[in-house]
Amino acid sequence: MPLTQYYTATTLDGFIADPDNSLQWLFDVPRAEEGSRAWDDFIGDVGAMAMGATTYEWVLDHERLLENPQRWQEFYDDRPCWVFTHRDLPVLPGVDIRFVRDDVSPVHREMVAAAGERNVWLVGGGELVGQFHDRGLLDQVIAGIAPVTLGAGAPLLPRRIEGMRLVDVRPDGQMVSLTYDVRGRAADGATPAPGAGAAPRAAPP
């Protein structure tokens, strides 16, 4: 059964970016070669994506996509991506990006329909993912834990969530990937998605 998944990397103290929205702390951590194959497995099973405005801007800036828009498809292929924003953002030519300001529930229905038999990936940030959880729409959290503490920054998931069930633990170099089922259909016995055991190669804030 297709899942709605939050797949990201986080520091040991629960931040996905530092106070300047930098992920350099993540890029400095040694990773296992198996992580790349696991990422390929994960993204291959994703049919639709969603991210917040800050995450979208990070991807544009870090990958210099406004100068090289074709790189988006190198990373994400032709998957549709919904960007939740309350401000105007740059448009990438030739990319299926849908800017929305709505509540997450009706947008989630569109995403599920577009994904078909594949999963929905919530890229981040944490507050947006929290809104999906508030509506009962978050199935699974896949978090790559880095041996780094920041003390401050963008939180992994600023919600109180209890009762998650650990379904997978795998090392990835100096990191470890934890997969938790959150609710309903995931917690009722769905198996971890392919590639769930590897921390993301890059996890925008």
d(CA 77, CA 26) in angstroms, rounded, equals 23
**Rounded distance between C-alpha atoms, residue 93 and residue 203, angstroms:** 23
Cα 130–chain centre separation: 12
Whole-number Å distance between alpha carbons of 29 and 55: 21
pLDDT at 181 over 50: yes
Q: What's the pLDDT score for residue 36? A: 67
The per-residue pLDDT for 201 is 52
Contacts 24+ apart (CB under 8 A), 41-45: 41/194, 41/195, 42/7, 42/142, 42/193, 42/194, 42/195, 42/196, 42/198, 43/76, 43/77, 43/121, 43/195, 44/194, 44/195, 45/118, 45/119, 45/193, 45/194, 45/195
Greater confidence (142 vs 196) lies with: 142
Characterise 157 by phi-psi region: left (phi > 0), alpha (psi -120 to 50), beta (else). beta
Mean pLDDT confidence for 171-197:
70
pLDDT at 184: 54
Contact 65, 92 (CB under 8 A): yes
Q: Which residue has the higher pLDDT, 201 or 178?
A: 178
For a pLDDT cut of 90, what percent of the chain falls above it? 80
- CATH level 2 (architecture), domain 4-187: 3-Layer(aba) Sandwich (3.40)
Q: What is the pLDDT of residues 48-66, one digit of tens each?
A: 999 999 999 999 999 999 9
Is 90 exceeded by the pLDDT of residue 148?
A: yes
Please tell me whether residue 5 adopts helix, strand or coil conformation.
Answer: strand
Domain boundaries, the chain: 4-187
